[in-house]
Amino acid sequence: MDVGYRQDPDQRRAREHVQSRWMEVYEPVRHLDPVLVLTALALTVIGLVAIYSAKLVALTSQGLPTSLYVSRQLLALGIGVAVMVVVAVVDYRHVRIYAPAVYLVSVLLLGVVLSPAGTAFGGAQRWIVLGGFQLQPSELAKLAVLITVAAILHEANRRPGLGVVLGALVVTLIPTALVFLQPDFGTSIVFVWTTAVLFLLGGVQARYLAGLAIAGAVAVIVAMQTEVIQAYQVSRLTAFLNAGDASAARTAAFQTRQSLIAVGSGQFAGKGLFEGTQTSLSYVPENHTDFIFTVIAEEFGFLGSSVVLGLLLVLVWRGLRIAILAKDTFGMLVAGGIVAILTLQVFVNVGMTIGIMPVTGLPLPFISYGGTSLIVWFGMIGLLLNIHMRRF
């Protein structure tokens, strides 16, 4: 007599259905890029150490907890990791569908910043204070412009005509103008740069690109002649050219001069953690945000700086790889755009600390102090993971 167990056909089909749905969910996870995640986390840890060192003496002298800035950055890290997981789980093709809504929200927030509800600090109005958290909408707008322009070019099916180009340009120029009014010239450049790279990747014709380049150059000249770009902004952008002058300490080149001293004093192996004099005495202004690289260069020297730049280069490599392997135009454009933003910010930030680029206020990704920036960058890592996991 057959005593074996025979499963009911309906039960078998139900089990196979559950297994199939489970594999649909699990299959992308098998293609997770651990190098990308671990590199981003390593850079963030280095940033936490550098922030702590940058503010240690200043906070101690004020009688404040020495972990004040680090604890805030850790909170942002926790939120950022959660955002990364959520963004990685949801199929990135849905991001394309909701891109217009994300864009509208970001523009509305930029408008709120310029209203009485916005918060000013250091001569710039860039934040919205929500409870104890400072939200910087311009960081969110970087991602919003990226995915919206990528969605527009994706719909053009790699043959964008003049109407598509002009539409993407309008999408870019609205937040660019709002951010410029804060004023935040550096982030405005990021928007324009991102769209320019997406145009190249998206197959925009050379004649349109040439026309936009000429129009952009004319707009800059007119803005300078009509003082839309004010004299102090021009001075700030050109001050690095005079950083070697002995009188620079009394000019707009003060930051660059002090930064060069800090970077040079680190030499090959650095002065050691918490031993940097330029860092501890706060000779370099904003050394926990825009000039965080000076802390790394002074205390860890050429070796430590090379490690940081090497890790950032790993992110660029993984991002380019994901862009190449992406299964559709939207994925390729988003990944390529993220790499473009990362490359620009690293080049400009490190460049201004060593005196080869103007001081524009762009933070060093994952390392500079700033909660909104850190959260958005982990959101971008989540997008890269998403595109990589669903490349088949």
Range of the domain at 319: 34-389
In a domain, 14, yes or no: no
Mean pLDDT of the chain: 85
Helix (H) or strand (E) segment spanning residue 130:
strand 124-130
Return the closest-CA partner of residue 140 out of 380, 359, 355. 380
What's the pLDDT at 250? Answer: 47
In a domain, 297, yes or no: yes
Q: Is the pLDDT of residue 22 over 90?
A: no
For 55, 74, 210, the CA distances from 273, given in Å and listed in that order, are 13, 20, 49
In a domain, 97, yes or no: yes
For residue 356, give the 3-state DSSP assignment.
Answer: coil
In a domain, 318, yes or no: yes
Number of domains the chain contains:
1
Return the closest-CA partner of residue 184 out of 363, 365, 344. 363
What's the pLDDT at 248? Answer: 46
Token readout for 228 is 């839309």
In a domain, 26, yes or no: no
In a domain, 293, yes or no: yes
Token readout for 205 is 């014709």
DSSP letters, 338-355, are HHHHHHHHHHHHHHHHTT
Which residue in this structure is represented by tokens 């990308």? 36
For 180, 181, 222, 352, 385, the CA distances from 158, given in Å and listed in that order, are 31, 34, 33, 36, 24
> What number of CA atoms fall less than 13 Å from residue 380's CA on the CB side?
32
Which residue in this structure is represented by tokens 């430590």? 304
In a domain, 193, yes or no: yes
In a domain, 23, yes or no: no
Per-residue pLDDT reduced to its tens digit, 135-182:
899 999 999 999 999 999 998 876 788 889 999 999 999 999 999 988
pTM of the entire predicted model? 0.89
